[in-house]
Copies of this chain bind each other. A is one copy, B any other.
């Protein structure tokens, strides 16, 4: 019998067993983990580096003389450099002889995650915090020798642009003399908030860039923006490099607390390095005479949840993780890029958007200022679905916010064949109510340079999971309570080895993994828990606001624009609403970050509205448990869904819905 070993891949979380002697690359391919291997396993490109997190270095293995991986090959000795750090192996070469945990660095990932946080066009008045001003200076002479270089710049900015009382960043002062002379007394000053000069360049410079950042628990994205046009000129995203320290917010807070003095710093360094990687990549095609590539970026706005906010800033997240959940700071912050080690113009400021409360972060403030419920008469519910779910509800009279512990099911985690929105992920599903036969769509080419003609299914991403469970309900495969209906006369509904029911979405032959892709009873339960939390949260907020119906529902989040709104209403992620009043807006948190980059008034608005919004603590509400239990049903145990009923009748679904 061939020995098998457990292998876990990070940050995707994919895990499985592989036969002894397989390479890490082979294991990765069999588990649907994409690793870049440009040379086709010829051991020459060195692109498939991975870091061994556990197994290889365990003390007991070394002592027992048993290594979990084959010894370092000559090819590895050639390609692996000291600066790669410890534990690095070439995945095409290292053979598995024991259980291992493998981290695939961003650079080694081939099938890059599809950027579902792509930027949409925003309509906003351009009034960025950072502006460039060209000045022609008085040239010094023996008749004009008592005016310093700095004073010449200040005088010219005041005379030509009415900018008074400006200060200089010390770093700008350091190079000022040479720059003015290089430009022959013609220069361009970059001014922050009409207050401080953060850059002086020789001659006339027009191009002006800012970066709007959205740090998610799982995914981080940066939108490089032309501050003269407001257009996004490039977008880059990475997996949050904090994932190895905890997949969700609470486990990262725990990591910080259980590793005092190092845990917080480690995670802060990881996210700063990750953001620097985004910066480096996003400016790749921008012409730059500065000392480093990111130097062209003069402004950066950033949103994240409260825990990511604290960790990013090196603030102890302990107190937001325990009662009474007090954050270190709520207001927006302007911090010098150099104080955070971010490799943009070191004299520029990082604008951190304000947070609302211990559980409702700057990302939700981003959603708030992007969607502006406070400017509307209609009663709106905004659901921001990420690793956590955040809700905003209200209109110009009052807006409430809350946070729901949905868990990461909507992102494909905790789902048997769940995966990120990467090539091979099933993203939409339809099931014939008669035959119970499915049709599905798989995410295809990830990147223009990976020429994949056809992509076979590998798993399901978030939108696929919502879609398939909603379709299973509509087709009568599961009932209102989420239980499987057996004996439907189809081999697709069956029991697994443990006797638990499952639905076969794709037969092994259709997949790239050699297994059937199934939806299990556990998967359905995970989704019910997640959507139940959102629904119960919404119900309690409606109660708080004294309303019984919603005028509008906005779905936001990483996969917000890909979510099927009928599927999500069928599932009961939110109370009934006319379907043409349900909108998917995509990454609204990122939109808020971009708006704060483009319009300084939005920064003031963010601070004001973050204080104005009323935080509703639902977890401690005595009514929560009952609401949650009822909301676990599909779409709900008791509530009426007249709009949904009409819709499903039109679709000829056999399912009955209360109206």
Query: Which residues of A approach B to under 8 Å, CB–CB?
Result: 140-142, 144-151, 168, 170-171, 173-174, 176-178, 313-316, 318-319, 323-331, 333, 335-336, 339-340, 355-358, 615, 617, 620
The one of B170, B323, B355 that contacts A339, using a Cβ cutoff of 8 Å:
B170
Other contacts beyond A146-B330, A147-B326, A148-B329: 18, CB < 8 A: A140-B324, A145-B326, A146-B356, A146-B357, A146-B615, A148-B355, A149-B328, A151-B329, A151-B330, A170-B313, A170-B333, A170-B339, A173-B315, A174-B313, A174-B314, A177-B315, A177-B318, A177-B328
Docked complex Cα distance between A356 and B168 (Å): 19
Residues of B within 8 A of A178 (CB): 316
A360 nearest in chain B by CB position = B146
Q: Which chain B residues lie closer than 8 Å to A144 at the CB level?
A: 324
Please tell me if the beta carbons of A149 and B324 are within 8 angstroms of each other in the complex. Answer: no
Task: Tell me how far the C-beta of A617 lies from the nearest C-beta in chain B, rounded to whole angstroms.
Answer: 8
Please judge, given known A-B contacts A177-B315, A177-B316, A358-B145, whether A170 and B335 are in contact too, CB under 8 Å: yes
When A and B form their complex, which 4 residue pairs have the shortest distance between CB atoms, in order from nearest?
A150-B329, A148-B330, A145-B324, A140-B326
Residues of B contacting A151 in the complex (Cβ-Cβ under 8 angstroms): 329-331
Closest to A327 in B: B148
Chain A interface, DSSP helix/strand/loop, else mixed: loop
- Looking at the complex, which one of B177, B316, B328 makes contact with A148 (CB distance below 8 Å)? B328
Ordered by A's residue number, 15 sampled pairs between the chains whose C-beta atoms are within 8 Å are A140-B324, A142-B620, A145-B324, A145-B325, A148-B326, A148-B327, A148-B329, A148-B330, A148-B355, A150-B328, A150-B331, A168-B329, A176-B328, A176-B329, A177-B328
> If the complex has contacts A170-B333, A170-B335, A170-B336, are A149 and B316 also in contact, measured as CB distance less than 8 A?
no
Contacts of A330 in B (CB 8 A): 146-148, 150-151
The reply to whether A145 and B329 contact each other, CB–CB distance below 8 Å, is: no
Q: Which residue of B lies closest to A318 (CB)?
A: B177
Specify the chain B residue showing the minimal Cβ separation from A617: B145
Complexed CA–CA distance, A316 and B146 (Å): 17
Q: Residue of B at shortest CB range from A146? A: B357
**Contact (A173, B328) CB under 8 Å given A145-B358, A178-B316, A615-B146:** yes
Min distance, Cβ A412 to any Cβ of chain B, angstroms: 33
| Nearest chain B residue, comparing its CB with the CB of A620 | B142
For A181, give the chain B residue with the smallest CB separation: B319
Which B residue's beta carbon lies closest to that of A325? B145
- How many copies, total? 2
The minimal Cβ–Cβ distance linking A145 to chain B, given in whole angstroms, is: 4
Contact at B358–A326, with CB atoms within 8 Å?
no
In Å, the complex CA distance between A150 and B145 comes to: 47
> How far apart are the CA atoms of A149 and B328 in the complex, in Å?
5
Partner of A323, one of B142, B315, B323, B357: B142
Q: How far is the CB of A321 from chain B (nearest CB, A)?
A: 12
- In angstroms, Cα B448 to Cα A503, docked, is 91
Complexed CA–CA distance, A487 and B121 (Å): 100
Residues of B within 8 Å of A325, CB to CB, are 145
Q: Which among A171, A177, A336 has the greatest number of chain B C-beta atoms within 10 A?
A: A177
Bound state CA distance, A110 and B169, in angstroms?
42
Q: Which one of A140, A151, A170, A171 has the greatest number of beta carbons of chain B within 10 Å?
A: A170
Measured between beta carbons, the chain B residues less than 8 angstroms from A170 are 313, 333, 335-336, 339-340
Assembled-state Cα–Cα distance A620/B147 (Å): 19
Rounded to whole Å, the gap between the CB of A353 and the closest CB of chain B is 14
Nearest chain-B residue to A178 (Cβ)? Answer: B316
Instruction: Give bound CA distance, A303 to B51, whole Å.
Output: 53
Residues of B within 8 A of A324 (CB): 140-142, 144-145
> Can you name the residue of chain B whose Cβ is closest to the Cβ of A306?
B148
The residue among A168, A328, A358, A617 with the most chain B CB atoms within 10 A of its own CB is A328
- CB-CB under 8 A from A171, the residues of chain B are 339
Question: B140 touching A177 by the CB < 8 A rule?
Answer: no
Shortest beta-carbon distance, A328 to chain B, in Å? Answer: 5
Q: Complex Cα distance A373/B314, Å?
A: 51
Inside 8 A of A617's CB, which chain B residues have their CB? 145
Separation in Å of the A517 CB from the closest CB of chain B?
44
CB distance from A428 to the nearest CB of B (A): 40
Task: Quote the shortest CB–CB distance from A212 to chain B (angstroms).
Answer: 21
Give the chain B neighbours of A314 by CB distance below 8 A. 174
| Residues of B with C-beta under 8 A to A327 | 148-149
Least Cβ distance of A16 to chain B in Å?
42
State how many angstroms separate the Cβ of A257 from the closest Cβ of chain B: 13
A334 nearest in chain B by CB position: B167
- Of A144, A178, A327, chain B has the most CB atoms within 10 Å of the CB of A327
Bound complex: CA of A327 vs CA of B327, how far in Å? 46
Contacts of A174 in B (CB 8 A): 313-315
Query: How distant is the Cα of A146 from the Cα of B330 in the complex, in angstroms?
Result: 9
Which of A323, A333, A339, A355 has the most B CB atoms < 10 Å from its CB?
A: A339
Q: Which residues of B lie under 8 Å from residue A315 when comparing CB positions?
A: 173-174, 176-177
Complex CA distance for A307 and B171, rounded to whole angstroms? 18
Which residues in B have their C-beta under 8 angstroms from that of A176? 315, 328-329
Give the residue name and chain of the B residue nearest to A335 (CB). B170
> What is the CA–CA distance of A25 and B147 in the complex, to the nearest angstrom?
50
A174 to B318, CA, bound (A): 13
Residue of B nearest to A174 (CB): B314
What is the chain B residue whose CB lies nearest that of A355?
B148
Taken together as a complex, chains A and B put the C-alpha atoms of A620 and B145 apart, in Å, by 13
Q: Which residues of B contact A141 (CB under 8 A)?
A: 324
Report Cα–Cα, A316/B173, bound state, in Å.
10
Q: How far apart sit A171 and B328, CA to CA, in the bound complex (Å)?
A: 13
Minimum CB–CB distance for A319 against chain B, Å: 6
- The answer for the CA separation of A241 and B205 in the assembled complex, in Å, is 41
Residues on B with C-beta less than 8 A from A328 are 148-150, 173, 176-177
Docked pose: A357 CA to B142 CA in angstroms: 12
